[in-house]
Structure 1
């Protein structure tokens, strides 16, 4: 059975356990919502990151492309006050969730929260490329795409990327999906994937409801996630251009 007006979000909860904006807006519009985190994260190289953060004069600014990038910087800078030195830098961020974490936890203002993905962020940075005569420091995960590095390098802009976390699978993912779907008997009408890795880590489990999988409406956050779904020969019902609650709501309401 496919349950109408129900949504399964494959995403992590907010780092501070505050109310999830996606869940809030969907619930307010009479959808039932389940959130399952498909991924785990293991931080690494935080000592190296700390040393780089201490040498802010070597960089034009910081780039944050996910909440985990921000969390790594938070961990690396604990009990120190050197992050204040980055306030006069040109710092950039993808997405409102990451922007909020960086502002509230690190006290840094950033441009780019409306860019939505790495390509759009690259275009924003390139608009003022003459201002940047030093590389950007880019804490990232092991599954990052090459888009940002490639696009900025084409324009002669340096990027010092350092892997600060590994993406792993949630070891309890199958159990959590089974619990949320009454052992795959009650599947949600909409399934929202926030990343290619989130899709790849869950799709084989979702296939256990094989007789209903084709009836599910897959929603992708951004073109990269859309491409990952299409490459596995699944239909994409809709694509949210940016990782914003309102964008998800619009896609779902436009059914």
Structure 2
């Protein structure tokens, strides 16, 4: 059994087609060897319901997009058509730079909040302008969303029109993928980076097959929710990336 020093395993969700992995780029430019295993896949649903809401912007004060999958759902709903021009005049919000960039490319509207990093921080940004919001926000989301945004905004009498647009599922090939990067569970990278609680839960069972105490590795969590999921499984978190960005992940590793 061996530990591959100066090697990082990114345990990530499915990424957009043809998207360049900026996490891998920044780590490799800092002399780390990088491996990537897809932990999750996504199944889209209720796209016609979302389409109906997107064609009625007058019903909303804006849209909140919390992940690239939400952006993909909107893109599917629009069927490659341009989004209604009125959405560009709304108060639109997003969590994280990756989602912000996806919105610009695939939908073409400007959003605030890319620096927020999580739902609680985003709610605080939204609440700063609460007096100007007299209609609900359109909120496409996945099946594993928390109620943080709904509760925080609800305290300020701000409402969400929620649409479940995708289900998160474990990557059915994850065991085989992990076997490849660990040489049949005989070696393991020095750094393990978990991007979400669901990604952690989908992979930890297989990672425990490696004959080594995982707490002896440097486990990186992206955000406090992922940190909690790891610690609840009696594993020590080496560092927490404060935001889901390549720069924050590098900072946590260093």
For this structure pair, what is the TM-score category when the shorter chain's length is used for normalisation?
A: over 0.9
If the length of structure 1 is used for normalisation, what is the TM-score? 0.97
Identify the residue that residue 226 of structure 1 maps to in structure 2.
Answer: 227
Identify the residue that residue 82 of structure 2 maps to in structure 1.
Answer: 81
Unaligned runs of 5+ in 2: none
- Which structure 2 residues correspond to residues 32-47 of structure 1 after superposition, within 5 A? 32-47=33-48
Distance of 1:187 and 1:198 partners within structure 2: 18
Distance of 2:104 and 2:111 partners within structure 1: 8
Distance of 2:84 and 2:220 partners within structure 1: 37
1:90 counterpart = 2:91: yes
User: What's the CA shift for 1:186?
Assistant: 1.4
- Which structure 2 residues correspond to residues 63-82 of structure 1 after superposition, within 5 A? 63-82=64-83
1:235 to 1:201, Cα distance in 2 relative to 1, 3 A: same
Please give the per-residue CA displacement for 1:161-206, whole angstroms capped at 9, x wherever unaligned: 1100000110000100010110111101010111100001111110
Please give the per-residue CA displacement for 1:59-81, whole angstroms capped at 9, x wherever unaligned: 01010110000000000011433
If the length of structure 2 is used for normalisation, what is the TM-score? 0.97
Identify the residue that residue 109 of structure 1 maps to in structure 2.
Answer: 110
Alignment root-mean-square deviation, CA? 1.1
User: What's the CA shift for 1:84?
Assistant: 2.8
Distance of 1:30 and 1:187 partners within structure 2: 18
Identify the residue that residue 199 of structure 1 maps to in structure 2.
Answer: 200
Question: Per the alignment, in what secondary structure is the counterpart of residue 16 of structure 2?
Answer: coil
- Which structure 2 residues correspond to residues 113-128 of structure 1 after superposition, within 5 A? 113-128=114-129
Distance of 1:160 and 1:224 partners within structure 2: 24
User: What's the CA shift for 1:13?
Assistant: 5.3
Identify the residue that residue 180 of structure 1 maps to in structure 2.
Answer: 181
